[in-house]
Amino acid sequence: MTWLNQLRGAVLAATVITTPTGHAATLHTINALPAHRLAAPPQFSAQIDDEPVAGDVSGVFVMPGETVFIDATEVPEQADLHLQTSDHGTAHEAGDDQWHWRAPDAPGLYPLTIRNRATGGLLHLNVLVKTPFTRRRTQLDGYDIGRYQPLPDDRDPVYAPPRGLVQVTAANRNTRIAPHFTLGQFLCHQQPDHTPKALLVRQRLLVKLEHIIAALAEAGLELDTLTVMSGFRTPQYNADIGNTTVYSRHLYGGAADIFVDANEDGEMDDVNADGVINRYDAEWLADLIETVTAAKPRLAGGLSAYPGNGYHGPFVHVDVRGTAVRW
């Protein structure tokens, strides 16, 4: 399906969830690219606690009861912005086109929308309230997590054990967390039959992936999405596959192994157009990604091109560790 066809066929999906208190709530979430983008794009952006969102539909990941600062940016002079909320959580104006929003105490999915009342443009924030998790635990509702390291690597807080994880079910796995990505694309590959699963995704990683898709479009490759071969990994799964790096960015939701697969054959496309698919296609993609981070230093991170083997084709590792490293 092409990107334009996705736009034409997109709908608001009504998802009924049950909170831990037993109350059912109907939440309108973006499970496909919103059809209104054809007529009324938002024409503004936003930041959540100073982190830019991934586009006109973006995932936001918070702890129960946490208050976040929502700041609309690049706002046109004649815009009239309004934050629309569900019946859950509380919002207060914090300034012109700025709000404080306190998350509900119950984990779940709570969509917010910033509406430009002057044009009808919408920016969707699919807020996912995480389920608390401590490093002393090894499971979350029966889903094996394993153990995180007790202290951050080199005291860098980006490697601190997570305080919570997003629980993923059949009801929310197709929720859009960026214009070209859904929540389920980042699931760990362990225990495929277990429900609910759990994961972490960093908002900054989603922004980086969207910039990569934009750079590919400029190079003539229009894509519905990138294939995420490996997104989040639990510490247990990371050890099970023989990875001895206990501080892998995959464990913290800040890394993805990706490749371009427009023809949907399960392998990297011939992106460098040399007639063969090999490591040089991954190198071409890595070089393009390097130009993205050169222009956006905030998105700096690890980068490496890997060849194919008997189990998979070539791919590229990207992460948002904060410093540029290529190996």
* Model confidence pLDDT, tens digit, residues 6-41: 332 333 343 333 333 333 333 344 454 433 344 478
- In angstroms, the CA 124 to CA 113 distance is 5
Residue 21 confidence (pLDDT): 32
DSSP character for 53?
Answer: P
- In angstroms, the CA 194 to CA 168 distance is 10
The H-or-E segment that residue 25 falls in is strand 24-30
Residue 16 confidence (pLDDT): 35
Residue 174 confidence (pLDDT): 97
Residue 247 confidence (pLDDT): 93
Q: Which of 210, 180, 181 is nearest to 289 (CA)?
A: 210
- In angstroms, the CA 311 to CA 321 distance is 27
Neighbours of 220 (CB within 10 A): 8
- In angstroms, the CA 31 to CA 183 distance is 10
Residue 14 confidence (pLDDT): 38
Residue 1 confidence (pLDDT): 32
Residue 105 confidence (pLDDT): 97
Strands 131-132, 139-140: pairing kind: unpaired
If phi > 0 it is left, if psi is from -120 to 50 it is alpha, else beta; for residue 165 that is: beta
Residue 20 confidence (pLDDT): 33
Task: Specify the long-range contacts of residues 2-11, CB closer than 8 Å, at least 24 apart.
Answer: 2/222, 2/224, 3/33, 3/222, 3/223, 3/224, 6/32, 6/33, 6/224, 7/33, 7/34, 7/35, 7/37, 7/38, 8/35, 8/38, 9/35, 10/34, 10/35, 11/35
Domains identified in the chain and CATH numbers: 1-129 (2.60.40.1080), 180-327 (3.30.1380.10)
Residue 3 confidence (pLDDT): 31
Residue 173 confidence (pLDDT): 96
**pTM here?**
0.88
DSSP character for 237?
Answer: H
Q: What are the residue ranges in the chain where pLDDT is below 50?
A: 1-30, 32-39
- In angstroms, the CA 152 to CA 150 distance is 7
Asked if 100 contacts 92 with a C-beta cutoff of 8 angstroms, the reply is: yes
Rounded to a whole number of angstroms, the distance between the first and last alpha carbons of the chain is: 35
Residue 9 confidence (pLDDT): 35
